[in-house]
Amino acid sequence: MRRFRGESGANAVEFALVLPILLMLVFGVLWGGMAYNQQLTLTQAAREGARFAATLPHPEDPLDPGWPSWHASVRDRIHQTSVNQLSATAGYTCIRVYDETGTLLGDSELGDPGPDPACAARPSLAVGVAGSQARIEIEVARPARFDFVFGGGQVRLRSNAVSRYEPSDTGS
């Protein structure tokens, strides 16, 4: 009996030593899952915006009065799909349109690009794409803050999508 009486508090001490490590692991998995969910939402928003833009009739000339409304429609679709992760005040959206020769027809951006260059100054996302494909490129980004048990940090989540643009035949 004496032998067991001397070890009666050992379980409590071991639990007190293991508990902080266990909590860090659990909270790390939770916050990692939330970050991954936010990244997937941004990726889905970029893809949906590119698909939507590829099917929407596009004005050929950037000076066309319909150009700003086309870009606004695409931006609205991206922001709706992003489940309020992107807005005019939080996040960044860049939309670029290229013609069949690979020439940038026009671009549009909304929000602060942060440490990244502005929309027109960025290189094309379509590396190795044949020059005979008109395309739409969408880039989205937003700052995210993750607080951990012993600190936290600010990260920039970003995603992009490229979709081939095929103008519809309006003459038929």
CA-to-CA distance for 75 and 93, rounded, in angstroms? 7
Q: In this predicted model, what pLDDT tens digit does every residue of 130-161 receive, in sequence order?
A: 556 788 899 998 888 777 666 777 888 889 99
Angle among Cα 84, 120, 67 to the nearest 5 degrees reads 70
Sign (positive/negative) of CA torsion 21, 24, 27, 30? negative
Q: In this predicted model, what pLDDT tens digit does every residue of 93-108 receive, in sequence order?
A: 898 888 888 788 888 8
Q: Which residues contact 114 (CB under 8 A, 6 or more apart)?
A: 92, 141, 143, 156
Q: Is the pTM of this model over 0.75?
A: yes
Work out the end-to-end distance of the chain between its first and last CA atoms, rounded to an integer number of angstroms: 97
Q: What is the pLDDT of residue 4?
A: 57
pLDDT band of 171, cuts 50, 70, 90: very low
- Cβ–Cβ contacts within 10 Å for residue 159, how many? 19
* Collapsed DSSP state (helix, strand, coil) of residue 47: helix
Q: In this predicted model, what pLDDT tens digit does every residue of 106-122 receive, in sequence order?
A: 888 888 787 778 887 88
CA-to-CA distance for 36 and 55, rounded, in angstroms? 29
